[in-house]
A and B are shown apart, each in its own frame.
Chain A
Amino acid sequence: MAGKVIVLTSGKGGVGKTTSAAAIAAGLALRGHRTVVIDFDVGLRNLDLIMGCERRVVFDFINVINGDAKLNQALIKDKRNDSLFIFPTSQTRDKDALKRDGVERVLEELKDSFDYIVCDSPAGIEHGALTAMYFADSAIIVTNPEVSSVRDSDRIIGLLASKSRRAEFNLEPVAVHLLLARYSPERVRKGEMLTVEDVKEILSIPLLGVIPESESVLRASNTGTPVVFDEESPAGRAYHDAVARFLGEQRELRFLQPERRSFFRALFGRA
């Protein structure tokens, strides 16, 4: 088995990288692919909370890199899906603990037993973010329809084209995809938010999906459940679509029109 390394990155913080990494990884696992999701945000561990396994962390990424623990001691098996594993990071303040050769060794070992290795990058363009993107085969650029996020995404796309391993060794370039998150069709309609077409045109990379702004995302993080496990959630269904497109299926874009709330849903329903 030769697993594929997918990095979720954005430059800007707070755009939904971790939410998206959890959702995409869980979505891949729900389709039967053996998937591990790795937290690269050393010092600011959060993937464990979003995945709901914060109390099961014993060893972490840095322990494995330093040889203090074996990979299978650090990997946490998801309780909802047998194909899904979480690889938490360390809370150490030493950001340089992610040594590139150590990361490469761990990724190579993971490739033997997983189909997909989903890397949740930290924000910024410092060591951690550069290490997370360096070994990527594919990149999912998480962007919000907002000027600073789009600008930072453009910067990250430039870095992937010049600073990744694939760029350095003149291999086939990293496959780059756009995931537009926190999209509000209602605000787009009012002319208060960049449209999907605007962002697509400006960044000129293929669109993987549009995730609507949705109350279910906060509900999911409150309970530590990746949002794809919520069948009712528009955001969850949009992530399922994005995963399907990532695997090569054709899917129409959904949730681009303001939702008409019926009288009964407005009275009793949840969003």
Chain B
Amino acid sequence: MRLLNLLFPERRTSAVIARERLKIVLAHERASREAPDFLPVLQKELLDVIGRYVEIRSDMIRVNLGRSGDTSLLEINVEIDGARGAPAKNGAVGDGKAAAATKIDPGTPAPWVKPS
């Protein structure tokens, strides 16, 4: 059968294109549909915690549950543009003691962060 396919490759008819486009879009949509309910809450809580130490906006964090083979992969991407210690807005650790306690010097950027 494979040899046949090599000899006579499937014509790229519009139906073949339709099938391929559908497979791709549905793979994406099913993955996001099957995402557990806790992801948005997790994202918000992470944002709160990270926001105590560095300035961060809600669009700078992305949480995804991916799948590769048999393993589920929780992927968290946090984008930080200059790790200045943030004065926490909610006042939970507003006096800056938390930053001191975790030994982060607000003056020097963390080594893994590109200076802006």
Contacts and interface: CB of A to CB of B under 8 A. Distances in A.
Contacts of A194: 15, 18-19, 22
Interface string B30-56: 100100000000000000000000000
A198 B18 CA distance: 10
B36 to A, nearest CB: 12
A192 B23 contact: no
A156 to B, nearest CB: 12
Contacts of B11: 191
A151 B25 contact: yes
B35 to A, nearest CB: 12
B1 interface: no
Interface in A186-206: 188, 190-195, 198, 202
Nearest to B33: A158
Contact of B22 (A151, A158, A190, A195): A151
Given A151-B29, A194-B18, 9 more contacts: A146-B18, A151-B22, A151-B25, A151-B26, A192-B13, A193-B15, A194-B19, A202-B23, A202-B26
A155 B11 CA distance: 29
B72 interface: no
Interface size class of B (residues with CB under 8 A): 10 to 19
Which 7 pairs from chain A and chain B are nearest by CB? A191-B13, A198-B19, A191-B15, A147-B18, A158-B33, A154-B26, A194-B15
A150 interface: yes
B17 to A, nearest CB: 9
B16 interface: yes
A158 B29 CA distance: 10
Interface of A: 146-147, 150-151, 154-155, 158, 188, 190-195, 198, 202
Contact of A147 (B22, B29, B30, B33): B22
Contact of B15 (A151, A154, A188): A188
B21 interface: yes
A154 B19 contact: no
A154 B23 CA distance: 11
Given A147-B21, A150-B22, A202-B23, A192 B29 contact: no
Interface in B42-88: none
10 contacts: A147-B18, A147-B21, A154-B29, A154-B30, A191-B14, A191-B15, A192-B14, A193-B15, A194-B18, A202-B22
Nearest to A188: B15
Contacts of B25: 151
A155 B28 CA distance: 12
Best-buried of A147, A151, A190, A191 by chain B (most CB within 10 Å):
A191
Contacts of B23: 202
Contacts of A202: 19, 22-23, 26
